[in-house]
Structure 1
């Protein structure tokens, strides 16, 4: 996963500033490397593999007693647990539904922790990305969600997700922010100057 440099972070901040000059919405962007450490996943798969070892050994010409089988199980468990903790392998072992659930939960926590639910007129909008899960979500407070249909956000999310998968996170953020801006200035045009929340990308 690529780390954004200072210039890229500044470009994202500039894009947010430009959008907020045209709308009453408060836009906050959050980038997480991953939504969870998933430490239990390698252990779970290693345990399943270790349980299958005696069955697999039955189809070999080896004659092993109970103690030998137990040793084989422990060795296979320890080796698998280490190998399965390699980040690239670990993420392949995590079920998609689990990754989406963890990322979605983190997105909602970030919505609250960044005080998007306390903006004047309930106009907070969160753009959340978790790189390891290739997960993108846009959460809008009631003042915006009553004006903008979820299907309109979804088309932006789909495009951004493809950018994240391709490793173009920074360009994806800018494109997403600009598209959000087009929607927001239509449904929540600027009625005055305000800046209640930070305009920089929040890194987790």
Structure 2
């Protein structure tokens, strides 16, 4: 998904408009993905390489199934048994390697990676990435601790809203579910910019109800959208 300069301007203007009615700060981050989940792919690949080849045994698996492992001649001598066993083990090992690599590479596809990664792991990684961005951009050091981060992870299909401690004492956590729902709804429809605009507007309404603008109403955080 490409975000154009015009899209960045739309989000910047949405943040500016929302912050006119509040002393709170709104910060937006969008990430392509927060993790490669490589260890998950390795776990799936290892499990598949261990289990799937076993299904070939009842079918009478032999080296002859693989090119180069047998010339089609059957040896009658007992001395040929170790050679045949070695060929069988080598062919079996090759099947395991092929399955391992195939599953690992398939796991690299975004849709497959999302389906193969447990939701709890994706949720934890996105939450961790959102908190990292919250701290990295200094949202936690605003004067009245009234900063809000709207974070979207595209590959994971997850949205997080992180509000600073100055907000928690006055705003129920459940209210932010409306913000995440607004952004998620538009993301599903393929309209991320409209989703951010809706989430920003709702966040501004929540903040303005509890944190009206001060005499100076300083802009403590950048209004731009950060892309990762």
TM-score range, shorter chain: over 0.9
The separation in 2 between residues aligned to 1:16 and 1:98, in whole angstroms, is 31
Which residue of the partner structure matches residue 40 of structure 1? 39
Matches within 5 A, 1:8-87: 8-63=7-62, 65-87=88-110
Asked if 1:95 corresponds to 2:118, the answer is yes
SS in 2 for 1:105: helix
How much has 1:106 moved relative to structure 2?
0.3
Correspondence for 1:122: 145
1:53–1:72: 8 Å Cα contact kept in structure 2? no
What is the Cα deviation at residue 61 of structure 1?
Answer: 3.0
- Checking the alignment, whether the CA contact within 8 Å between 2:122 and 2:156 is kept in structure 1 is yes
Number of aligned residue pairs: 203
Q: 2:222 aligns with which of 189, 198, 203?
A: 198
Asked if 1:142 is matched to 2:165, the reply is yes
- 1:90-119: per-residue Cα shift (whole Å, max 9, x none)? 222111111111000000011101101110
Output one character per residue of 1:152-191: Cα deviation in whole Å (capped at 9) or x when no partner: 1112212322222332111000001111111111110101
Aligned partners of 1:19 and 1:177 also within 8 Å: yes
- 1:134-155 per-residue CA deviation (whole Å, 9 max, x = no partner) reads 1111111122221111111112
The farther-off stretch of 15-24 and 155-164 is 155-164
Q: Which runs of 5+ in 2 are unaligned?
A: 64-87
Write the deviation string for residues 10-67 of structure 1: whole angstroms up to 9, x where unpaired. Answer: 0100010011111000111111111111122222211111001332112213335222
TM-score (norm 2): 0.84
Larger Rg: 2
Separation of aligned partners in 2, 1:54 and 1:203: 43
Contact 2:110/2:155 (CA < 8 Å) preserved in 1? no
Aligned position for 2:70? none
After TM superposition, the score normalised by the length of structure 1 is 0.94
* Bigger mean CA deviation after superposition, 67-76 or 129-138: 67-76
